[in-house]
Amino acid sequence: MDDTETSDMRQKTIWRRDGFYSASTILYGIAFLAIAIAIAEGMAYLEAENLHSSFAPHQLLSQHLISYANLLLIGSTFLYISHLWITTKAVGWLASSAATLGAMGVTVALLVRWFETDHMHPMAPATFSSLYDVTALFSAVTVVIYLAMEKVYRTRAAGAFVMPIVVAAVLFESFLFSGDSGVADHLTPTLKSYWVDAHVLSNFVGYGAFAVAASLGVMYLLRERAERQFSTRGFALQSLPDLQGIDRVMFEAIVFGFSTYTLGTILGIAWWYEESGEFGAWTVKEVGALAVWSIYMVYFYGRYLHRWRGSQMAWLAIFGFGLSVFCFAGANLYLKDLHA
């Protein structure tokens, strides 16, 4: 047995170990959030005395935190891509550390931003009241989900595929901020609700998981193509896990994302019914959300009833995430409707 086969067998064993819902993953998420809240509370306390309503967005502490955190996320992306070729532990450790600090920085910044807007304009904004806010939330959530997966399966290969999506979100944030979209929107009183915040947060956790699944779908297709052409030694493909392992983790990411996305949708419907007595206004975003939900239902239908596997599932994961981005970002930028 040559070194390549030995490496593949070791990698397959690693990717079958534990699971995405193991105790270590849950503890990682709890610890991450607890540390972020503690840091945010300290920073908010130090900033409180100097805050006033005339502050411009670029003067706020939260904006500086997001800027530095985004630089760390961009740096980690280059390190993860480099790690496909330079497989030393040092490069991998630096990539994971930069991603962790970047995600922590964005999370802390969002918590501080919540305090800032509430302190300066108590009656005006909601927690996630602008496209800029939710895009930053998406980038942080995506990185945290990926890092949890990295911790469980003990491989950094997927980072080179997940992190470019995060960088795209960071660039989109910069575009929004340059157009004055970094300011919290003044929403109607009915939207200033913790139920709405829970709805948004649940949906974007789902989007983050869908982003990870789509990245794994791309990784699967590259690996499958290389194996068909008997060229797994090229394009750093020796660093990628086996097809069965990629398919399994992609499925688990979609299960997690679909669960939280469904919860967020239910929360949104329940809140709207309480406010209006109707189950929906059938706005562009609501129809888009139903379309996204349906795509992943097709994924489960094919997997469980028709035993679909492999490239079919990978393409569905990629298409589902692409539709999510189009329905949310596209609707916010170009189509204005009753939905916030």
Give residue-wise pLDDT tens across range 106-145. Answer: 988 888 777 766 655 555 455 566 788 889 999 999 999 9
Mean pLDDT of 46-73: 67
Amino acid at 259: S
What was the pLDDT predicted at 114?
75
Q: How confident is the model at residue 288 (pLDDT cuts 50, 70, 90)?
A: confident
Which one of 9-18, 155-164, 207-216 scores highest in mean pLDDT?
207-216
**Which two tokens mark 126?**
């909601």
- Higher pLDDT: 92 or 11? It is 92
Which pLDDT value is given to residue 2?
46
Q: Across residues 64-75, what is the average pLDDT?
A: 88
Highest mean pLDDT among 77-91, 135-149, 263-277: 135-149
Distances (CA, A) of 231 to 227, 228, 258: 6, 8, 35
Range 257-279 average pLDDT: 81
DSSP per-residue letters across 114-157 = HHHHHHH-TTS--TT-SHHHHHHHHHHHHHHHHHHHHHHHT--T
Mean pLDDT, residues 35-60: 57
Residue 85 near residue 160, CB atoms below 8 Å? no
What confidence tier does 226 reach under pLDDT thresholds 50, 70, 90?
confident
Q: Which amino acid is residue 42, in one-letter code?
A: G
Collect all residues with Cβ–Cβ distance below 8 Å to 186 and sequence separation of at least 6: 124, 125, 129
Give pLDDT tens digits for 236-251.
Answer: 566 677 888 888 899 9
The token pair at 235 is 């394009």
- In angstroms, rounded to a whole number, what is the distance separating the alpha carbons of residues 38 and 164? 29
Vertex 11: Cα angle to 152 and 31 (nearest 5):
10
Quick: pLDDT tens for 11-20. Answer: 444 444 455 5
Angle, in degrees to the nearest 10, between helices 23-47 and 89-120: 50
CA-CA distance, 209 to 170, in Å (whole number)? 17
- Residue 74 pLDDT greater than 50, yes or no: yes
Look at residue 297 and tell me whether its pLDDT is greater than 90: yes
Q: Is the pLDDT of residue 340 over 80?
A: no
Give yes or no for a contact between 139 and 73, defined as CB atoms under 8 angstroms apart: yes
Q: List b or e across 173-182, with b for residues whose CB sees 16 or more CB atoms inside 10 angstroms.
A: beebbeeebb
Q: What is the mean pLDDT of the chain?
A: 77
Percent of the chain whose pLDDT exceeds 70: 66
Give residue 6's pLDDT: 44
What is the structure's pLDDT at 253? 93
Check residue 277 and give its pLDDT: 64
Higher-confidence residue of 235 and 170: namely 170
**Has residue 320 got a pLDDT over 80?**
yes
